Structure formats: structure tokens, C-alpha cells
Structure 1
Amino acid sequence: MSAFRALDPARGEPGGGSRAGAASSSSSAPGGLFRPLNAEDEEQQPTEIESLCMACFRQGVTRLLLTKIPFFKEIIVSSFTCGSCNWTNTEIQSAGRIQDQGVRYTLAVRNKQDMNREVVKTDCATARVPELDFEIPAFSQKGALTTLEGLIDRAITGLEQDQPGRQEIDTALAEKIDGFISKLKRLKEVESPFTFILDDPSGNSFVENPHAPLRDEVLVVTHYWRTAEQAAMLGIEAEEPHENSPDSADDLRNEVHQFNTNCPECNAPAITNMKLVQIPHFKEVIIMATNCDACGHRTNEVKSGGAIEPLGTKISLHITDSSDLTRDLLKSETCRVEIPELEFELGMGVLGGKFTTLEGLLKDIQGLVEKNPFTLGDSSNPDRTERLHAFSKKLQQILDGQLKVHFVLDDPAGNSYLQNVYAPEEDPEMNVERYERRFEQNEELGLNDMKTEGYETEPSSKR
């Protein structure tokens, strides 16, 4: 998928421009095509392109800025202005890769403060308010970095712009839409609680948690596997399955395999190394590491090499001294991390799969908190920033061995691991609990609709 698909002048959209034009302006800048947004960066200038105004059909100016936002990958910011009729249009489009899983945010809106939450909505995301039977379908709006109130305002503006024509053609329909617009305007005042659902099969949308790093009681984040229809909508084709011989399986365990990919930071061609590793007293895992020669970025990810376990696993460790921080740790993509004493919870999917030490994971969490983009800059909330700094200090006290806490790994798939330094004896400071998954947990893992029994094997002559 081209990152410049929505900027194609052949589609007659405002903000049109050529791919070569945008690339030529930014590729020469040091640091790659997509640079972090920085007001002090004098070399980061938008590209200006003449394009057609769809309001008065005269020439206007489109400004394109290629940048990247933490936790939202690369984006293209487009701003169109017409000097003849003063019509303007702004939009963003994700230029990053499609994520491995889709994401669904369910927010229980209780007061007007919830309307100020930052929302990143890509063009393939669907927004719904079940109480009003209201839905913004996928690809009906351009991607936007806005607030929940701003998202509703865009819907109101879209409904109002065709009302004069409807009143001339169908007065009854126009009156019904006027009534619905009034309901949307009252929705912004939060006269009664309602539910906002943002569903993005590409996994690139986002709803802010203003209580970060603490758990948000009114926001539920669910990661799911895309259906065939959703994959087709995104233009993704599944690879055809192929059979492996026993010899090739042995080679997979003994060799480091490489395949071509793109760097997640600068999008330059890179090589990913993959290796099957056996963890003692546990199971096989797949370690994937990418090293970019262009920008020097390094990343690693761990995926389970086995199936989903029949029972979920909850591992609780009482950290009593600094030696506990050296324990090996495997955090799968489906694992949640909790520190009850700090009222902290890291949801599944965040930070991806990791094979590291307990100290390494705590440092990754600390870096995630300190680089939260919604607590930086002039528009950040001072109270929220102060809470994050206080939380970061407590994490540092744990790393320095000054604070004793409980560290919990809760993995419904049962594919996470924390080293038992007393193995094969029991660890007095660690408790491992096996539990039956709830229906919601099976739904997140895609197990409720999975049928593995009752299939009849066709005779070989009919294959």
C-alpha cells in the first residue's frame, strides 16, 4: 500500500500532489524521509504543491509534511488552502506498516473531560456510538489526529453540508437529519453517559488514556485477528501454506534464517534474522531481530513457537533484592504486566513479545512512560506530567533495589515465562497459577470461533 494513495491528483481530491515531489523535498534532509516533529528543526519544512480546489475549481496550495509520532508510526500531514474562496482542508494519513493485529477501543464516556481525549483515527477505522445507532464507516472520512469532540464535529459538518440540497429534494429526510444532528450536538454536552467504539483492522488507531501509566477503568483495548473480509479491505493477501519436510524443520532449529523487511524507523530496506530457541524448563520460542544499516535502529521481538496452552498462566514474583532483576523473562504478545503496589497495568500487545531480563523489561516500561507524547509540549497537563515523573521515580527505586514490590505476568495464552532460579525446586518468592480462561479472554485469542474437532478426512483418491 502506498503511503501517498490519498494524495493522488488523479482522484481530484484537494491536497493532491506527486509522490516524487514530496519525496524530493524530504529525502535530502538528514535523519530519513520521516523526521520527528520538532518546532526547532529549521530543516523540517513542508512541501508546497499547487492543486485544484474542489469548492471553486481554482488553483490552491497543498502543504505536505512527512513526520512521525511516537506510538503512531509515520504519518503524512496534509493542509490545503484556497486563496480564491478561502476553503481549507486538513487531514493525516498513516504512512507506517499495517500492524499484525487489528485494535478495538471501547470508551465509556461519562463526562465532558472524556470528550477532550486525543484520538488518532485512520481512514480505514470505523467509529460507532451504539446508543444513537450512529456509525462513521471505514473510508468515509480521512485520517485525523483530533479529540473525541473534534471527531463528532467532523461528522456534524459532513451531515450539514448537504442539507440545503436535501431540503429542496426531500423535506422529510432533511428534517430527520436535522433531528439527528441535534442529537449529535447534545452528545457533545454528555447529558447522559454513552459508549464510543473505535475499530481499526489496521491496528494504527489510538484513544488516549489520560491516567497513564495507571489503568483506565472506562477504556477497554482489545486486539484481534483480522477476518478475511477485513484483510481484503486493507489489500492484504495471505500467503499460501506450504508443507515442510522433517529435514527442513531440523534446519529451522539449527540455523539463523533471514528475510527482507523495512526499518520501522526510517523505512529503509533492512534484514530480519529469525532463530528458534529452546528455553530450559519451558518451550521453544522464535526470536526475531532487525538491524538497520541506514539509521542504526535495532529492534527485537519474540513469538511463541508452540500452540496456545489449555490454561492461562499468572506468574507473581515478590521482588526482594536487586538479584531478582537478573532473572530471564519471556513476555509474549498476549501477556499483561502488573505492579499492584504502583496500581500499574501494561496491556497485552504493548511492547510486543520480549525475551529479556526483569530489569530490561522495567527499563523498557520506564522509557515508554517518559516518552509518552501526550504529556510533552506546551499543551500537556501539568498534573499528568507530575504523576508520570513520580511513577518513573518509583520504577527507578525498584531498579535500584530500594522498593520491594510484586511483579505479575498474566498471560491467557500460557506462553510467558519467568526464570525460577531454584529450578527444579520451587521458588519461595514466586507463585505460578494456572487458570481457566474467561469467555472474553478466549474471544481476544480468537478461540471461541475456532473449530478443531468433527472434521472428516477425505479419501486420498478424492483429493
Structure 2
Amino acid sequence: MWALGEPGRPPSPSPSPASVSSSAGPAFRPLSAEDEEQLPAEVESLCMACFRNGVTRLLLTKIPFFKEIIVSSFSCSHCNWTNAEIQSAGRIQEQGVCYTLTVRSKQDMNREVVKTDCATARVPELDFEIPAFSQKGVLTTLEGLIDRAVAGLEQDQPRRRETDAALAEKIDGFVSKLKRLKEVDSHFTFILDDPSGNSFVENPRAPLRDEALVVTHYWRTAQQAAMLGLEAEKPQENSTDTEDDLRNEVLQFNTNCPECNAPATTNMKLVQIPHFKEVIIMATNCEACGHRTNEVKSGGAIEPLGTKITLRVTDASDLTRDVLKSETCRVEIPELEFELGMGGLGGKFTTLEGLLKDIQALVERNPFTLGDSSNPDRTEKLHAFGRKLQQILDGQLKVHLILDDPAGNSYLQNTYAPEEDPEMAVERYERCFEQNEELGLNDMKTEGYADEASPQR
């Protein structure tokens, strides 16, 4: 399989953010020309071209609606060699993500791609792969990613032609195949697999569903967790906490604010939802910037059957219904051709009105519709979609809301309980192989595992 590294040499190892920022304010602040205190830190570091000392400039900043980043720039006054890169400073997501894009036209080559340094990019038709950690994190287009791959393969070609002409000729032939990909003479597949969950491939039809793009979230393996520097939490032994203690106690643990990265405290509580099951509610309140967030985790096991709940929203009273949306639940509004995939917005326990407002905020804060590079047609489509959502919130538009949860851990309040709700239909269904794969059930053995003979020492 063909693989490559990044053209050029990486700058010298950068110091940690803690050693660069010593101010009392947030370590990562939005980039602004009016912020006079936001200046890059300068660190003397070794030039990897001439092995004399140069200067690395580091700037801790934050991309709006995306994540914290470290912008580094190296320059050497002796040999005039320069280099710049972007390093992610955001937290690793709970699940990994895999984007599978079927490239059908040249317009698909203009899709914006966020590729972290731990992500793997592949084109199966050419048996081509960009391995994890062979390139630094980058924000570019699909065409730009292919151009970087071509530059990485061509950078040592002059030396190869002198030492191994046969290998150089093979690489020239493969580079020509990569360049022809940009013409899209035939369909091909682009796969971006990121165990950290921080990579992204643009959906130009947002908020509508993209038929050419398949997004899959998955649980990391032990090898992937080790690659990311994560360690599984060990269960506490000799615990004296009972179930009653957990229900009556609010647990607290230290974390970092997702907005300003300042130290914060997360509260966790086990709650019983009537006519449903137990859930875990986690809430974080940052005293530094005032940001608040909440997330819901299912407190029970995955149900034997998936659940599909369909509600016909007819008036404003339906917006007051309680909604439990698990992290494995998909949300659909057929009248608007809208679908929010698994993992979107995470787990939430809110009202139907709160869920629609979260979707509205998610659409309005799409990072690829902001700034000078935004597409006017796409921006107008998002604004039109936002206006339709507002009509639903105002009770002027009747739609169907569908909660499809393969794990069966989502819930929508029945205001007629214990009788049936005439406006709501609940369907139980058998999961398909792909849904079990996303939930990690295909490789899970829950019966007869104790009967297997353990290896003798």
C-alpha cells in the first residue's frame, strides 16, 4: 500500500500551552485585532535545516464554533528556512468518527476537510493511504489534500532517479494517477478515519442530508486509545456506595471548560425518568467565562430492540413535552428533509422546544457559512431552514418529528399516559448488521464466555 509523509521538515517540539501563557485570563481566546494582550510567544529553538538556532512563534487561539488551536511559525535567520503548522488543543471526543465520501464530480473536490494529525485518509481504488501522524493537522479542501499528497511523493524524486530509477518511475506513474483523481473522470471513494473524533468533511447540502457522505461514529479499540495516549479507567475496588446512595448524591469531578479551557467542575446525578428508565445527567458550569453545558448518558443497558418514535407536532403544547435524546439517536424532520445523525448534539434531556432551539443554534453556527469564503447560496439555504424551524417554534408549521434510536434508550413524553397518545407512534424493530456494528455489538460476547478455557501459564 502506498503511504507518504508530509513535505518539508517539522518545526522543533513546541512547549506546552501552560508554559507559554501565564496570564490570569483564559489560555485560548478568540483571534481579534482589537485584543492588544493577545501576542504570540517567542521561543528560541533548533533549525532542522542548518542546525543553528531560530525562533518559533506560538499563538494560543480559538476558531469560532470549532475548537482551540496552537498556531506555530518557525523562521531561521541563518538559512532563511520557514515553516508553519496548526496543532489541535481541543479535547478528544468520546467516540471516533469515519467519513466515507463518494466523489462524483469536481464540486466534491471543493469540499472543505478538517484532518487532524491522528486521522487516516484513504482512497481504496488506488490502494493509497495517508497514515496517522505522517502529516500535521490541516484545514483544506479535498483537492488540497491530494495536492499535499502529490508534493509529499515528489519531494525526494530527484534523489530517487539517481539511486533507484525503477522505483522513481513507479512513483511517477502513481503520482499521475493521483493527479487524474482531481479531474474525477470516474467515481472514487475517499475515507477519513479519525479515532479522536475531531476530523470533519463538509456537507455542502447542509442542513439537508448528503447522499454521497456517510458518517459513522464508533468506539475506540484498546490500540487506538493507546495511540491517543488514553488509558482506560480502572474500576474502584471495595466500593461501599449503594444504589440508593448514588441516586441521592450529586457526584463532582474536575474537568476543563469546553469554551475557555479553564478549570471547572462537572456535576453528575443519577435520575429516574417516570415510565422509562434511569439516566445519568452531567452538567458543567464555568466560573471563568460563564459557559454552561449539560449532557445525558443512558444509565441502563442497550435494549434488545431499537426504538423509533414519531410525533406529529400540531400546536405549541407539543413543544413542552420532555425529550430524552441519547447519543445514539437520530433526529429527522421529513417535511424539511432534515436529518441529525448519530452523535449530533450528544445526549440531551430537555423539552421538544429546547431540542429544536439546539438544532437551530447548530445550523446558525455552521463554521463553513461564516466569513468571506462562505457560499451565498448555501448561506441562504441555511437561513431559509432556520426560518422554517422558527415557524415550528411559533406554532405556524405542522411537521413530524422522528427519534430513531437503535439502542432503544431515547424517550418522548406521552402527555396522555398511561393511555395511548393519538399524536405519537412508537415502533420497536430489529437492528440490522450495520446498526449493531455502530453500537459495537457484533464483536461483543455476552453468553458462554466463562466456559471458554483460559490459557494456562
Q: TM-score range by the shorter chain?
A: over 0.9
Pick from 278, 281, 298 the counterpart of residue 304 of structure 1: 298
Aligned to 2:190: 196
Amino acid at match of 1:18: P
Distance 1:409 1:246 in 2: 38
Residues 369 and 42 from structure 1, CA distance in 2 versus in 1: closer, same or farther, beyond 3 angstroms? Answer: farther
Q: Is 1:139–2:136 an aligned residue pair?
A: no
1:280-429 mapped onto 2 (5 Å cutoff): 280-429=274-423
Q: Which residue of 2 aligns with 1:182?
A: 176
Out of 265, 277, 280, the position equivalent to 2:271 is 277
- 1:170 is displaced (CA, Å) by 1.2
Aligned amino acid, residue 153 of structure 1: D
Residue in 1 aligned with 2:72? 78
Q: Deviations over 1:345-385 (max 9, x none)?
A: 11111111000000001111111111111101111000011
Instruction: Give the Cα separation in 2 of the matches to 1:102 and 1:247.
Output: 32
Q: Which amino acid aligns with 2:177?
A: K
User: What is the percentage of aligned positions where both structures have the same residue?
Assistant: 85
Q: What TM-score, normalized to structure 2? A: 0.92
Pairwise CA distance, 1:86: 4.7
Alignment equivalent of 1:212, drawn from 194, 200, 206: 206
Does the C-alpha gap of structure 1 residues 399 and 281 become closer, same or farther in structure 2, counting only changes over 3 Å?
same
Q: Which amino acid aligns with 1:410?
A: D
Alignment of 1:8-19 (within 5 A): 13-14=10-11, 16-19=13-16
Higher mean C-alpha deviation, range 200-209 or range 242-251 = 242-251
Matched AA of 2:233: E
Whichever residue aligns with residue 235 of structure 1, its letter is G
Number of aligned pairs?
446
| 2-structure distance, mates of 1:350, 1:40 | 34
Name which of structure 1's ranges 320-329 and 12-21 shifts more when overlaid on structure 2: 12-21
**Contact persistence 1:23–1:33 (CA under 8 A):** no
Q: Secondary structure at the match of 1:456?
A: helix
Amino acid at match of 1:230: Q
Distance (whole Å) between structure 2 residues aligned to residue 40 and residue 379 of structure 1: 22
1:265 to 246, 259, 264: 259
Q: CA deviation at 1:58?
A: 4.6
Q: Is the 8 A contact 1:14 1:80 kept in 2?
A: yes
Within 2, Cα distance between the matches of 1:433 and 1:246?
40
Q: Once structures 1 and 2 are overlaid, which stretch shifts more, 205-214 or 409-418?
A: 205-214
Once the two structures are TM-superposed, the CA of residue 80 in structure 1 deviates from its matched residue by 3.0
**Cα RMSD after superposing both structures:** 2.1
Letter in 1 for 2:277: K
What is the alpha-carbon distance in structure 2 between the residues aligned to residue 81 and residue 436 of structure 1? 59
Cα deviation digits, residues 130-170 of structure 1 (max 9, x gap):
00000011111111111111111111111111112212221
* Cα shift at 1:64: 2.3
Task: Assess if the C-alpha contact under 8 Å between 1:70 and 1:372 holds in 2.
Answer: no
Separation in 2 of the partners of 1:388 and 1:81?
Answer: 42
**CA distance in 2: counterparts of 1:310 and 1:247, whole angstroms:** 29
Does the C-alpha gap of structure 1 residues 70 and 41 become closer, same or farther in structure 2, counting only changes over 3 Å? same
- Measured against aligned partners, the alpha-carbon deviations of 1:194-216 in whole angstroms (never above 9, x if no partner) come to 11101111111111111111111
Instruction: Kindly provide the amino acid, as one letter, of the partner of residue 45 in structure 2.
Output: S
Q: Distance in 1 between matches of 2:171 and 2:301?
A: 51
Aligned partner of 1:67 in structure 2 is 61
Which has the larger displacement, 48-57 or 439-448? 48-57
Unaligned runs of 5+ residues in structure 2 are 1-8
User: Residues 251 and 118 of structure 1: is their aligned pair in 2 closer, same or farther, counting only changes over 3 Å?
Assistant: same
1:97 and 2:94 are equivalent in the alignment: no
Corresponding position of 1:5: none
Whether the 8 Å CA contact 1:337–1:410 is kept in 2: the answer is yes
Q: Distance in 2 between matches of 1:125 and 1:271?
A: 30
Identify the residue that residue 35 of structure 1 maps to in structure 2: 29
Q: 1:421-452: CA deviations, max 9, x gaps?
A: 00010101111111111111111000111111
Contact 2:27 2:262 in 1 (8 A): no
CA pair 458-452 structure 1, distance change in 2 beyond 3 A:
closer
| Distance across 2 between alignment mates of 1:87 and 1:416 | 56
Alpha-carbon distance change, 247 to 136 in structure 1, aligned in 2, over 3 angstroms: closer
Q: CA deviation at 1:85?
A: 4.8
Code of the residue aligned with 2:421 in structure 1: it is D
Q: What CA deviation, in whole Å up to 9, does each residue of 1:170-205 have, x standing for no partner?
A: 111111111111111111221211111011111111
Deviates more, 1:275-284 or 1:235-244: 235-244
Q: Say which SS state the counterpart of residue 180 (structure 2) adopts.
A: helix
Instruction: Find the partner of 1:153 among 147, 151, 160.
Output: 147
